[in-house]
Amino acid sequence: MRRARKGALAALGVLYLSAICAGFLAPYDPAAQDRDLAFSPPSRLHVLGTDGFGRDQFSRLLYGARISLLAGPLGAAISIAGALLLGGAAGFFGGWIDSLIMRAAELFLAVPWFYLLFAVRMMMPLRVEPAQAFLMILSLVALVGWARPARLIRGVVLSARTRDYVVAARSLGASNVHLLRKHVLPQVTGVVSTQAALLAPQYILAEATLSFFGLGVGEPVPSWGNMLTVLQRYDVLSSYWWMFMPAAALVTTILLYSMLAETVHDWPAVR
Amino acid sequence: MPAVRYLLVRIGHGLLVLLGVSLLSFLLAAAAPGTFADELRLDPRVSPETIAAMQARYGVNRPIAEQYFLWLRSIGRGEFGFSVIYNGPVGPLLWPRVRNTLLLAVPATILAWLIAIPIGAWAAAGRGGWLDRLTIAATTVVVGIPEIVLGVGLLLIAVRTGYFPTGGMTSLDFDELGAWEKMRDVLSHFFLPVAALALISLPVLVRHVRASLVEVLRSPFIQAARATGVPERRLLFRHALRVGVNPLISLVGLSVAGLLSASLVIETIMSWPGLGPFMLDAVMARDLHVVVAAVICSTVLLIAGNLCADGLLYLADPRIRIGRFP
C-alpha cells in the first residue's frame, strides 16, 4: 500500500507539473482555431486531434488542467480552513456557539450535494468572465463543502479538550491560544489530511460538472468540464472518439486521488 | 408506544430541517444579483404593468424577510411561489417531477442492493483471494468515474447499439400506443438511467457490505456454527448476513443522498423529466421559486430515505425496539 501511495503521489505530481508548465509544453495556443481541420483525428500535427473549431485538443487538455486540477486542492484548502475555524470554535467553546454552528452544518448536509451546489450557484451572476468564474467556483465549493469537515473537526476538538493533560494544562493557567496551538490542533491533522484527500477530487468533479452544464468556466478558456460539453451532440458522440480524452484525464485524476486517500483513510471511502 | 414516539420525533426533526433548508435556499437565491423581473423585461411581449403586478404579488422589492413570509404563505395555498419559465404556480409542477425522479431512484436503489449484497458477501468470504482483490480493484475504478462521464458514456452506448432510446421518458408517438406498449416504451427509456444510477451507488455499497461481513465472520458464533457443520453458503447468507445487515441499513439513507445527487446529472444528460433538469433549467433562467422548491423536494426525498432506513432498522434491530434509540 505504501508503494501505491508513493506512485499515486508521483503521478499526481507529474500531472500538476505539466499543468503548471502548460505554456511551455503545449504545441499550440489553446484558443487558436483552424477551421479547415475541424474534428481531425489524432495525427502527427495534432497529437490528440482537434475539436469542432480545429483547436488542438492536446494543448486545450494541458491548459484545461490548470483550471480543473487547481480547483480541487485550492477549494479543499479554503473549505478546510473555514471548517477548522467553525468546527474548532464549536468544539472548543461549546455552548450556544456549538449548537448554532452544528445546526447550520446539519442544514448544509441535509440537501443532496449537487442540488446544494447548483442552488448556491444561483447566488452568482449567470454570465461571468472565465477568470472570475474560476474564483466563483472556488468560493462556491468552499461554501458548499465546509459542513462535513467542520463536523468531524468539532468531534476531535471536543474529545481533545476534555483529555486529562489538556485539563491539567488549563489548571496550570495556560491560555486558550496556547492550548489550541500546543494540544488541540496537533490532534486535528489526521482528520484534516484525510478530508483534504477526499474533498479535492470531489471539487475537481464539481468544477467539471458546473462547466459541463455551462455554469462554470466558459469558452474560449478550456476546462476538462466544458471540453466535454460538446459530447451532448450525438454526431460528435458517435464519430469522434478523441473528444473523450478529457473524460479519460478526469477518471485518471480521480483514481490517483482515491488511491492517495485510501492509504490515508483505509477502507470504506464514502463520497 | 415507543415506536410511534420514535417515528414522531424523527418526523418532527425532519420538518425542522426542512424549514431551515427552505430559509437557507431562499436566502441564497435572494442574494442572487437580479430577479426574475430582469429576465422577463427582456421579453418584449411582457408589458411593464404585468411585471409590476407580479413584483407586487411576491414582494420582490420588499425586504427578504417579508418575501420569505409571502412565499411561506403561498405554500399554504399549494402554490410554492410563482415560476417565470412555466408562467404559473410552482406547486402543480412538482409532483410529476418528483414522481419521475422516484421512478429512477427506487429501482436503482433496489437493483444496487441486490447486486451489492452477494458480491460483497463473496468478497468477504474469500477475503484476500482473487475475487476479493478483483472486487476492491473494480470498486476503486467505478468510484473514479464521474457522473458526467458515465452519462455521456451511456449516451454513447445508446447511440452506438441502437437498442435503447437516447433520452427522454417516452417516444414521440407515445399517446397513440396501447397500455402494454406504453409500459414497454417507458421501460426501454428508463433502463439506461437506472443502470447508471445503480452503477454509481454500487461501489460504496459493496465496500460496506464487505467490511461489515468481514467483521461478523470473525466473531465466535460463526466459528461455533462452522464447527457444527453448517454449510459455508448458509453460514454466509443466513447467519452472518443477519447480523451484518444492521450497520448496512443506516447506509440506505446515505446511499440515497449520493443517488439523488447523481440523479440530477444523469437525468439532465439523458433528458429524463425529473427534478434534475427542472432545477437546472430554473438556475439558468434565474427562476428563484422553482430553485427553492426543487431543493426542498430533493431534501424531502433524502429525509424520507433516512426515515425509511430508521424504520427498517427499528424492525431489524431489537436493541432499538427496547427503547434505547439515539
Give the 3-state DSSP-derived string for A137-201, with helices as H, strands as E and coil as C. Answer: HHHHHHHHHCHHHHHHHHHHHHHHHCCHHHHHHHHCCCCHHHHHHHHHHHHHHHHHHHHHHHHHH
Burial classification of residue B73, based on how many CB atoms lie within 10 Å of its CB (0-12 exposed, 13-18 middle, 19 or more buried): exposed
| Terminal alpha carbon distance of chain A | 21
Q: What is the pLDDT of residue A80?
A: 92
Which band of pLDDT confidence, cut at 50, 70 and 90, is reported for residue B326?
Answer: very low
ipTM summary value: 0.84
Name the percent of chain B lying above pLDDT 70.
87
Dist CA A63 CA A61 (whole Å): 6
Is residue B204 predicted with pLDDT exceeding 50?
Answer: yes
Asked if B264 lies within 8 A of A208 by C-beta distance, the reply is: no
Kindly report the three-state secondary structure assignment for every residue of chain A: CHHHHHHHHHHHHHHHHHHHCHHHHCCCCCCCCCHHHCCCCCCCCCCCCECCCCCEHHHHHHHHHHHHHHHHHHHHHHHHHHHHHHHHHHHHHCHHHHHHHHHHHHHHHHCCHHHHHHHHHCCCCCCCCHHHHHHHHHHHHHHHHCHHHHHHHHHHHHHHHCCHHHHHHHHCCCCHHHHHHHHHHHHHHHHHHHHHHHHHHHHHHHHHHHHHCCCCCCCCCCCHHHHHHHHHCHHHHHHCHHHHHHHHHHHHHHHHHHHHHHHHHCCCCCC
Name the most confidently modeled range: A20-24, A50-54, A206-210, B215-219: A206-210
Q: What is the pLDDT of residue B169?
A: 65
Lowest-pLDDT range, A256-260, B1-5, B103-107, B319-323? B319-323
Q: What is the arithmetic mean of pLDDT over B100-108?
A: 89
Burial classification of residue B148, based on how many CB atoms lie within 10 Å of its CB (0-12 exposed, 13-18 middle, 19 or more buried): buried
Read off the DSSP letter of residue B287. -
Lowest-pLDDT range, A26-40, B168-182, B213-227, B229-243? B168-182
Residue B35 with chain A: CB contacts under 8 Å: none
Dist CA A206 CA A145 (whole Å): 11
Question: Is any Cβ of chain A less than 8 angstroms from the Cβ of B16?
Answer: no
- Tallying the residues shown for chain B, one arrives at 326
* Closest by CA position to A115, among listed B74, B274, B39: B274
Residue B269 with chain A: CB contacts under 8 Å: 232
Q: What is the pLDDT of residue B167?
A: 64
Q: What is the pLDDT of residue A8?
A: 83
Q: What is the pLDDT of residue A185?
A: 81
Helix axes A113-121, B288-316, angle to 10 degrees: 160
Which band of pLDDT confidence, cut at 50, 70 and 90, is reported for residue A67?
Answer: confident
Helix H or strand E segment including B294? helix B288-316
Q: What is the arithmetic mean of pLDDT over B185-214?
A: 85
Q: What is the arithmetic mean of pLDDT over A150-156?
A: 89
Burial classification of residue A168, based on how many CB atoms lie within 10 Å of its CB (0-12 exposed, 13-18 middle, 19 or more buried): exposed
**Which of A118, A225, A234 has the CB atom closest to B283's CB atom?**
A118
Q: pLDDT per residue over B264-289, tens digit each?
A: 998 888 888 888 888 888 888 777 88
Those of residues 278-297 in B touching chain A at CB distance below 8 A are: 279-280, 283-284, 286, 288, 291-292, 294-295
Which band of pLDDT confidence, cut at 50, 70 and 90, is reported for residue B324?
Answer: low
Asked if A111 lies within 8 A of B298 by C-beta distance, the reply is: yes
Q: Model-level pTM?
A: 0.84
Residue B279 with chain A: CB contacts under 8 Å: 115, 118-119
Q: What is the pLDDT of residue B171?
A: 62
Helix H or strand E segment including B123? helix B91-125
The x, y and z cell numbers of residue B218, run together, are 470473525
Cα angle for residues A78, A248, A197 (degrees, 5° grid): 30
Average pLDDT of chain B, as a whole number: 81
Question: 3-class DSSP state for residue B322?
Answer: coil
Residue B155 with chain A: CB contacts under 8 Å: 231-232, 234, 237
The x, y and z cell numbers of residue B227, run together, are 464447527
Q: pLDDT per residue over B8-48, tens digit each?
A: 888 888 888 888 888 888 888 777 766 666 766 777 777 77
What single-letter amino acid sits at B154? L
Q: pLDDT per residue over B137-190, tens digit each?
A: 888 888 888 888 888 888 888 877 766 666 666 666 666 666 677 777 777 778
**Which of B34, B258, B260 has the CB atom closest to A271's CB atom?**
B258
Cα angle for residues A91, A96, A99 (degrees, 5° grid): 65
Which band of pLDDT confidence, cut at 50, 70 and 90, is reported for residue A268?
Answer: very low
Is residue A222 predicted with pLDDT exceeding 80?
Answer: yes
Of residues A198 and B1, the one with the higher pLDDT is A198
Asked if B17 lies within 8 A of A259 by C-beta distance, the reply is: no
Q: What is the pLDDT of residue A270?
A: 37
| Cα radius of gyration (chain B) | 24
Residue A200 with chain B: CB contacts under 8 Å: none
Q: What is the pLDDT of residue B1?
A: 60
Torsion angle of C-alpha atoms B51, B55, B60, B65, degrees rounded to 10 = -170
Read off the DSSP letter of residue B61. T
